[in-house]
Amino acid sequence: MDLSFVAIQALSGLASASSLFITACGLTLVFGVTRIVNFAHGSLYMVGAFTAATLVPWLLEFSFGPVSFWAGILLSAMIVGLLGVVIEVLLLRRIYGAPELFQLLATFGVVLVLQDLVVQVFGPQDILGPRAPGLRAPVEILGRRFPSYELVLIAAGPVVLGAVWWLLRRTRFGILVRAATQDRDMVAALGVNQALLFTGTLFLGAFLAGLGGALQIPRVAANTGMDLSIIAECFVVTVVGGMGSVPGAFLAALIIGQLQAFGILIFPKSTLIVVFLLMALVLAVRPSGFFGRPEILASGHAVGIVSRRPTPYGRMLAAIVLACLAALPLLGDAYLLKVATEILVFALFAFSLQLLIGVGGLVSFGHAAFFGLGAYGSALAVRWLGAPMEAALPAGLVLSGLGAALIGAFVVRLSGIYLAMMTLAAAQILYAVAFQWVEVTGGDNGIVGIWPSAWAAPRDAYYWLTLILTAATVFVLTRVIDSPFGYTLRAARDSESRAEAIGIAVRQQRWLAFVLAGAAAGIAGSLYAFSRGSVDPSLLGIPTSVDALTMLLLGGIQTIAGPLVGSAVLHTMRDQVMPVTALWRLVLGSSIIAMVLIFPRGLVGTIRYWREDRA
């Protein structure tokens, strides 16, 4: 490794750090003022890239030159800024006081909506933007060629930092933003026009996301996968830097840029692993990041399961439903059985998440990690060890349990929004590993040929197997929820300081909950792998995590049966709607937003509310 190589790597690290900082800075500013982690921030970045890749060539046709190019970039960022304003006025404004789980889900609804809208507006193809006029020729640095556009990017980071610094320190708007980041209630009490401040902040945040995206067009083609990959990286930057801190985001982006540039030498397959290790290290020493303040994370009220007297109806109803489900194969409809098997699998998956969210108040946004680990654990056992299903199912359970133990070990140090972001990042890293470690995991194609043993191969036999395992696991988890252990989780959710004061080891209990929930999700994942005969990285993806969350939300977070009902409804809906429209994500996203806004109790919760209201 010679000096010139090191220099070039360091420079490209700086260039990616700049891009990352510009985008993450918007996220952290918006969080500081509104206390909402805007999931759609990555989507705004994507819209910025698509807009610029379309707009800039058009401007260059009129007059070719640097002015048109840079004007196009800024104009794209402005357009995205306005989109941010629209999102604030239509959605965010209505959910500032909502529990953070709902805020995250609602902004994820925006992600889904924008994914489909981008395809509708810009088409499904990737769009590579033009190179910047005047910056086409590479420069020579220590005998190596280096793209001159990257040098401009390197400068752009500090320029934006300077501009934001000036804005925050020297303008009235900036003073208000800083004041609101420190003490939102006081700013409101002083009679500041909150609505205008929040809308302005959203404009600024979205503008920065759009700018970050627009600046990418000469380097990478605008594509529909950009939103989720950048949001995971932004989460890492803001968490490591400290939520709400702009200098923190800058420092974290610098370090992460370098780690990614040089991490290639250590883990050529997944530079994200190095980033993950950094994150683990920083959070172990400073749980609120470089410049974050712990009090900023004083989390809002958690929603979840409350005590209620056990009724005989509940048990009777469960027995009847179970009997009906067991009799389902008698109908002899093969397609129905396939759908029913999948519903059971997702019901178990969503139910395992309920232990973390509804009981523990731990808003995990990366539950797909455990579902995917279970599926991959089984698939790898079949593929590499030739294991039969009977051995591969427990293998999936073990792998997901171990994964949950590892991830849980350091996310239980966090709370609220940090926990949500870190679980998401952890799942995203596993996704990257599954995607990039082609020799072992089969990469994008995944692993095929994962079939059940002969006795379980008929559709009805496999359905019964799934039903038995799902019902047994749900039964065990229900007992756990009602047991002292489950109560300690709820106690810690209701009041952490009170729980500690009566001798509950909060972190330890939460870690155990992670292991348990992870293992249960792993069973679901393994069952899913054998029902489809294959696994692929999408099982670990963010959309899979959000599926589980949507099922919870749909069924009702305050109820034990909610996730089971939610999964049945969502899966059936998907089965019916997906074949008739290409806009499934638009439908799903709008439904999530609508549920958060008008239907936050979910189906089971609403029914119970009506009943108790009448009583």
When binding is defined by CB under 8 A, the residue of 29, 283, 375, 504 that contacts other proteins is 504
CA 413, 418, 420, 425 torsion: positive or negative? Answer: negative
Residue number, 363 or 512, with CB nearest to other proteins:
512
Provide the minimum distance between the beta carbon of 302 and other proteins in the complex, in angstroms, as a whole number. 9
Provide the minimum distance between the beta carbon of 505 and other proteins in the complex, in angstroms, as a whole number. 6
Provide the minimum distance between the beta carbon of 242 and other proteins in the complex, in angstroms, as a whole number. 18
Asked if residue 584 binds other proteins (CB under 8 A), the reply is no
Residue number, 437 or 487, with CB nearest to other proteins:
487
- Phi-psi map region of 35: left, alpha, beta (phi>0 left; psi -120 to 50 alpha): left
Asked if residue 493 binds other proteins (CB under 8 A), the reply is yes
Are 401 and 515 in contact by the 8 Å Cβ rule? The answer is yes
Q: Which stretch binds other proteins (CB under 8 A): 109-117, 319-327, 478-486, 521-529?
A: 478-486
Residue number, 436 or 478, with CB nearest to other proteins:
478
Question: What HEC string does 386-430 produce?
Answer: CCCHHHHHHHHHHHHHHHHHHHHHHHCCCCHHHHHHHHHHHHHHH
Residue number, 460 or 482, with CB nearest to other proteins:
482
Provide the minimum distance between the beta carbon of 439 and other proteins in the complex, in angstroms, as a whole number. 40
Provide the minimum distance between the beta carbon of 559 and other proteins in the complex, in angstroms, as a whole number. 13
Q: If we measure between CA atoms, which residue out of 123, 27, 127 comes closest to residue 84?
A: 27
The amino acid occupying position 148 is S
Burial of 328-357, coded b for 16+ CB within 10 Å and e otherwise, reads bbeeeeeeebbebbbbbbbbbbbbbbbbbb
Provide the minimum distance between the beta carbon of 303 and other proteins in the complex, in angstroms, as a whole number. 10
Measured CA to CA, the distance from residue 287 to residue 410 in angstroms comes to: 10
Please give the helix or strand (H or E) that residue 145 lies within, else none: strand 144-146
Residue number, 113 or 523, with CB nearest to other proteins:
523
Measured CA to CA, the distance from residue 201 to residue 199 in angstroms comes to: 5
Asked if residue 600 binds other proteins (CB under 8 A), the reply is no
Residue number, 260 or 354, with CB nearest to other proteins:
354
The two structure tokens encoding residue 441? 């995991």
Asked if residue 559 binds other proteins (CB under 8 A), the reply is no
Asked if residue 486 binds other proteins (CB under 8 A), the reply is yes
Residue 381 CB partners (closer than 8 Å, separation 6+)? 387, 391, 392, 395, 396
Residue number, 327 or 502, with CB nearest to other proteins:
502
Asked if residue 491 binds other proteins (CB under 8 A), the reply is yes
The amino acid occupying position 166 is W
Residue number, 258 or 354, with CB nearest to other proteins:
354
Asked if residue 609 binds other proteins (CB under 8 A), the reply is no
Measured CA to CA, the distance from residue 101 to residue 596 in angstroms comes to: 10
Residues of span 507-536 touching other proteins by CB under 8 A: 509, 512
Provide the minimum distance between the beta carbon of 488 and other proteins in the complex, in angstroms, as a whole number. 5
Tell how far CA 576 is from the center of its chain. 26
536, β-bridge pairs: none
Provide the minimum distance between the beta carbon of 330 and other proteins in the complex, in angstroms, as a whole number. 34
Residue number, 417 or 513, with CB nearest to other proteins:
513
Asked if residue 487 binds other proteins (CB under 8 A), the reply is yes
Provide the minimum distance between the beta carbon of 238 and other proteins in the complex, in angstroms, as a whole number. 25
Provide the minimum distance between the beta carbon of 611 and other proteins in the complex, in angstroms, as a whole number. 16
Residue number, 2 or 612, with CB nearest to other proteins:
612
Provide the minimum distance between the beta carbon of 482 and other proteins in the complex, in angstroms, as a whole number. 5
CA 201, 207, 209, 212 torsion: positive or negative? Answer: negative
178, β-bridge pairs: none
The binding track of 394-433 with respect to other proteins, each residue x by CB under 8 A or -, is ----------------------------------------
Residue number, 460 or 494, with CB nearest to other proteins:
494
Residues of span 293-312 touching other proteins by CB under 8 A: 304-307, 309
Residue number, 262 or 485, with CB nearest to other proteins:
485
Residue number, 571 or 608, with CB nearest to other proteins:
608
Asked if residue 500 binds other proteins (CB under 8 A), the reply is yes
Residue number, 358 or 589, with CB nearest to other proteins:
358
Work out the number of other CB atoms within 10 angstroms of the CB of residue 313: 8
The two structure tokens encoding residue 118? 């981008």
Asked if residue 498 binds other proteins (CB under 8 A), the reply is yes
Measured CA to CA, the distance from residue 474 to residue 570 in angstroms comes to: 19
Q: How many residues bind other proteins (CB under 8 A)?
A: 30
Residue 560 CB partners (closer than 8 Å, separation 6+)? 305, 354, 358, 478, 481
Asked if residue 497 binds other proteins (CB under 8 A), the reply is yes
Asked if residue 482 binds other proteins (CB under 8 A), the reply is yes
Asked if residue 317 binds other proteins (CB under 8 A), the reply is no
Burial of 592-606, coded b for 16+ CB within 10 Å and e otherwise, reads bbebbeeebbbbbbe
CA dihedral of residues 181, 185, 188, 194 (deg, nearest 10): 50
Asked if residue 288 binds other proteins (CB under 8 A), the reply is no
Largest pairwise CA distance in the chain: 82
Residue 142 CB partners (closer than 8 Å, separation 6+)? 3, 4, 7, 8
Provide the minimum distance between the beta carbon of 292 and other proteins in the complex, in angstroms, as a whole number. 17
Q: Which stretch binds other proteins (CB under 8 A): 100-108, 152-160, 403-411, 497-505?
A: 497-505
Please give the helix or strand (H or E) that residue 139 lies within, else none: strand 139-141
Q: If we measure between CA atoms, which residue out of 423, 317, 310 comes closest to residue 360?
A: 423
When binding is defined by CB under 8 A, the residue of 193, 495, 572, 581 that contacts other proteins is 495
Asked if residue 362 binds other proteins (CB under 8 A), the reply is no
The two structure tokens encoding residue 104? 């995250």
Measured CA to CA, the distance from residue 51 to residue 124 in angstroms comes to: 14
Task: Tell me what percent of the chain is helix, strand and coil, each rounded to the nearest 5.
Answer: 75, 0, 20
Asked if residue 560 binds other proteins (CB under 8 A), the reply is no
Residue number, 330 or 502, with CB nearest to other proteins:
502
Measured CA to CA, the distance from residue 80 to residue 64 in angstroms comes to: 24
Asked if residue 483 binds other proteins (CB under 8 A), the reply is yes
> Which positions lie near other proteins, rule CB under 8 A?
304-307, 309, 479-480, 482-488, 490-491, 493-495, 497-505, 509, 512
